[in-house]
Structure 1
Amino acid sequence: MAEAVARVARKVNEVVENGEHHLDLSECALNAFPIGLYVVMKSVAQDIRSINLANNEIKALTGKFFTTFIQLEELNLAGNTLQRLPDEVNTLVQLKSINLSKNKIQDFPENLLDIKTLERINLEDNQIKDVPVDKLSCIPSLQSVNLKSNPINKDNLKLLGIKFELLI
């Protein structure tokens, strides 16, 4: 555990000291986004464009995470135990790509539908049964939605006229 904490501190210090735009805290055994990082990263939070929190043990993210890193364009939350996203995710008005694969999400996160800049949504290997394809079609920049390995009710899908790649 001490090694994981040291790795998080080292990676955050590199971002803060070097003014980097990418924060990679993947595989750091995190079960939440460390509260102390909001203070440490306050001066650079608006410059962070991508965050990788993949392959941790994160059960939930707070609204503060999304309202702190409002300039995010890419967010990788794959390989955690998330069940839902807070409503504040829709404050990420620059977000282009979100990876939520290999989590515990049961309902399609409809709060993503408000993010008009989204190009790629990866929800592979979750527990989603229903997909609001008609609402997804209203996201102008959407290019791809990956829903492979979900127990989707394909009988209810209305696939006519969609303008993005739907992987099921």
Structure 2
Amino acid sequence: MLRKMGEAVARVARKVNETVESGSDTLDLAECKLVSFPVGIYKVLRNVTDQIHLITLANNELKALTSKFMTTFCQLRELRLEGNFLHRLPNEVSTLQHLKAIDLSRNQFHDFPEQLTTLPALENINLEENEIVDVPVEKLAAMPALPLINLRFNPLNAEVRVIAPPLIKFDMLMSPEGARAPPP
């Protein structure tokens, strides 16, 4: 168990160092068995956080992200968090004023993360395969840049299905009622 953890930590460290050394705008920590975002990374990246535009934390075991994560990487354009155990986002998501895309598919959201509706640049929200029943349709309809939101394989209530289409002038992807996601 510990050796495995050590390997995971080493892998994370290697990927973080690659980002720093190459001056890359991407931090890819997908599939690193992370349960939380490693605090040590903030120190390592402190001089380059502004240049990081894409962070991938897909397919980890994250249950939450901290407000520090959001305020540190406030220049993000894209955040990929699919395949984790997230059920909410910190309020500080609202500091991500440049974020264009967020992938929260295959997580455990029961409530729509409403902070996303405050992000002016957001063009793509992917919440496929969560447990979302209700959606803030009016707030979504007011988002200036959003052409697409994916809510497939969520147990959306009938009201959302009825009121969303006339109000929302962009693509809101929904599965037929009662549809279940195919097994991975």
Equivalent residue runs for 1:148-159 within 5 Å? 148-157=152-161, 158=163, 159=165
Q: Secondary structure at the residue paired with 1:102? A: coil
Residues 1:109 and 2:106 are matched in the alignment: no
Residues 1:123 and 2:127 are matched in the alignment: yes
Which of residues 145, 159, 171 is equivalent to 1:165?
A: 171
TM-score, normalisation: structure 1 = 0.97
Instruction: Please tell me whether Structure 1 or Structure 2 has the larger radius of gyration of its CA atoms.
Output: 2
Give the structure with the higher percent helix.
2
**Alignment-derived partner of residue 13 in structure 1:** 17
Distance 2:121 2:160 in 1: 26
- Superposed displacement of residue 161, structure 1: 3.8
Residues 1:88 and 2:92 are matched in the alignment: yes
**Alignment-derived partner of residue 133 in structure 1:** 137
- Superposed displacement of residue 133, structure 1: 1.6
- Superposed displacement of residue 148, structure 1: 0.6
- Superposed displacement of residue 163, structure 1: 1.7
Residues 1:61 and 2:65 are matched in the alignment: yes
Residues 1:50 and 2:54 are matched in the alignment: yes
Any stretches of 5+ residues in structure 2 without a counterpart?
175-184
CA deviation string 1:67-111 (max 9, x = no partner): 000100000000000010000001000000000001111000001
Q: Secondary structure at the residue paired with 2:79? A: strand
> How many pairs are equivalent?
168
Percent sequence identity over aligned pairs: 57
**Alignment-derived partner of residue 177 in structure 2:** none
Any stretches of 5+ residues in structure 1 without a counterpart?
none
Distance 1:17 1:113 in 2: 35
- Superposed displacement of residue 121, structure 1: 0.2
- Superposed displacement of residue 167, structure 1: 0.4
Give the aligned residue type for 2:7.
Answer: E
Q: Secondary structure at the residue paired with 2:166? A: coil
Give the aligned residue type for 2:173.
Answer: L
* Preserved contact between residue 137 and residue 160 of structure 2 (Cα < 8 Å): no
TM-score, normalisation: structure 2 = 0.89
Which of residues 25, 37, 41 is equivalent to 2:41?
A: 37
CA deviation string 1:7-61 (max 9, x = no partner): 1011000111111100000000000000010111000001000000000000000
